[in-house]
Structure formats: structure tokens, C-alpha cells
Amino acid sequence: MFSLQHKTAVITGGGSGIGKAVAELFAVQGASVFILELNAAAAEETVKSILAKGGKAFSRVVNVSDQLQVKDKFAEIAQEAGRIDILVNSAGISHIGKLDSTSSEDFEKIFQVNVKGVYNTMFAAIHQMKQQGGGVILNVASVASTVAVADRFAYSMSKGAVLTMTLSVAKDYIHDNIRCNSISPARIHTSFVDNFLEKNYPGQEKEMFDKLSKTQPIGRMGRPEEVAALALYLCSDEASFATGCDYPLDGGFIKLNN
């Protein structure tokens, strides 16, 4: 079950965090993985990790907010691999702030990466998927797509857009045999969390980590590998009946925080 043999997967943000975990698991399951990443060194580290385990992986340096770059890279991949079966949009950036503490520049930066970046990659992939007779798109949204999270105004805006773009694409391309879903994680323990705590709470990292962990009713943060496992299911043939849905992976955050 959950084999990705003979499938080509494009994963944005595959150099770290959730994207890296997805890339590594997909490669274990047999996919040829193309990592789209702004950080060339991080992308190469993921490629080396996959190759060392006998998998197939390639990296492409790209700024997902630049549509011309994205279209060129997808055209290259389609020509090289012959098809693009799976697109996972994991690239994204965060921002902390309320409406009145979010500058126009910060808002635009979040929009360009988290919203336009997802639009650009889906736009580039959809023609190839239609041409080849189908495909799967999976977007990484957030619990902030559907519930209020304090001090995350711009980030919540962007992830709400990811969720609704997911539903729109699922509706419009269902008869082209293209499935589109999203995953909405709560807090996931990645290097971003560690760097955030080190920068904003020096000397209090453990205390703040425990505090943030307990915002999930289950009592801990999620692991990137847990998100990757759900992503594998949703991108596999076993999930062929699943489209137009958002899947919270949140340790009870949405339903049990009351």
C-alpha cells in the first residue's frame, strides 16, 4: 500500500521541516522527487539524504513567488521526467503580528510567498497534469486557516487563501482526474520553532517550548514525519476518492480547545 513507484513528485520547501520529511518519505515509497527550494544548500542536503538511502531526488533552486522562474522549472521537470504526478506545496514563511503591527511590506512579503507562491506552482503544474490525464495537488495550510490564532494576522490571511484555493482547484479540475486537498497542521516541531524561541526568548527556550506544546490538547507539538505520513496517504492511489478536503492534523487544537 501507499506505493509511489513510477511517480514524479514536486515538493516546494523540501529543504527543511515538513517539506523535507515529505520528500524523504515519498522517496522511500518509490517516487522520483524534485525539490524546489530557495535555499540551495538545504535542498542539496535533502537530496544527499535521499540518495544515501537509495532513493531518487533532484533539486531546483527557485523563488516560488516568481512565476516565470516557476514555469521554467516545471517545464524542465516535465521534459526530464515525462510527467508530474504529484505537487506538494510546503514552502512558506511565518509572521507574528496583529493588524495594526503588520506593515504593508510584511503583508506583501507573506502574500508573495504563501499565496502567490502556491498559485504559481499550481498554475505551472495544472496544464501538465491535464495533458497527462491526471495528478494530485496537496497544499500545506494551517489551523489558522479556519480558527483564530492570536498575533497571526498576515499568516492567517495567507493560509486561509491556501485553503480556499485548494477547494477551488478541486472543484474546477475534478473531471480532469486531478485531486486537490490540503493539510492543516497545528504547531509542528521544526527548526523554525527552535530558531524562533532562541531569538525571542533567550534563556527561556524550554519554558516557552513547553508552553507552546501545551496549546495542543494532546500535550505536545506534532512531528514533521507525522504530517508526511498523512501527505503520503493523500497523494497515493489509496486516496483516489479524496478531493476537495482539508485535513486538520492538530492534536485536538481546533475541536478540543474550549
Within a domain: 3: no
Q: CATH number of the domain at 119, please.
A: 3.40.50.720
Q: Is residue 217 part of a domain?
A: no
Domain count for the chain, please give it. Answer: 1
CB 119 within 8 A of CB 87: no
Cβ-in-10-Å burial (0-12, 13-18, 19+) of 148 comes to exposed
Residue 245 pLDDT grade (very low, low, confident, very high; cuts 50, 70, 90): very high
195 inside domain = no
- What's the mean per-residue pLDDT of the chain? 96
Task: Say if residue 186's pLDDT is above 70.
Answer: yes
Element (H, E) at 171: helix 153-172
- Reading the block at residue 244, the C-alpha cell is 476537495
- Which of 15, 136, 49 is closest to 84 using CA atoms? 136
* Assigned domain for 197 exists: no
18 vs 126: CA distance, rounded Å: 23
Please confirm, yes or no, whether 247 is among the known catalytic residues.
no
Task: Say what percent of the chain tops pLDDT 90.
Answer: 94
pLDDT of residue 68: 98
Whether residue 158 is contained in a domain is answered as yes
> What local confidence, expressed as pLDDT, does residue 200 receive?
79
- Nine cell digits for residue 48: 544527499
Residue 197: the pLDDT is 87
Strand partners, 12: 36, 89
Please report the sign of the dihedral spanned by the C-alpha atoms of residue 188, residue 191, residue 197, residue 200: negative
CB atoms within 10 A of CB 155: 22
165, pLDDT greater than 80: yes
The reply to whether 198 falls in a domain is no
**pLDDT one-digit tens code per residue, 100-151:** 999 999 999 999 999 999 999 999 999 999 999 999 999 999 999 999 999 9
Range of the domain at 155: 8-188+223-256
* Per-residue pLDDT tens over the stretch 23-56: 999 999 999 999 999 999 999 999 999 999 999 9
Catalytic residue (one of 119, 155, 173, 247):
155
Torsion of CA 209, 214, 219, 222, to 10 degrees: -60
pTM attached to this predicted model: 0.96
Residue 135: inside a domain: yes
Q: Note whether residue 95 is domain-resident.
A: yes
pLDDT surpasses 80 at 258: no
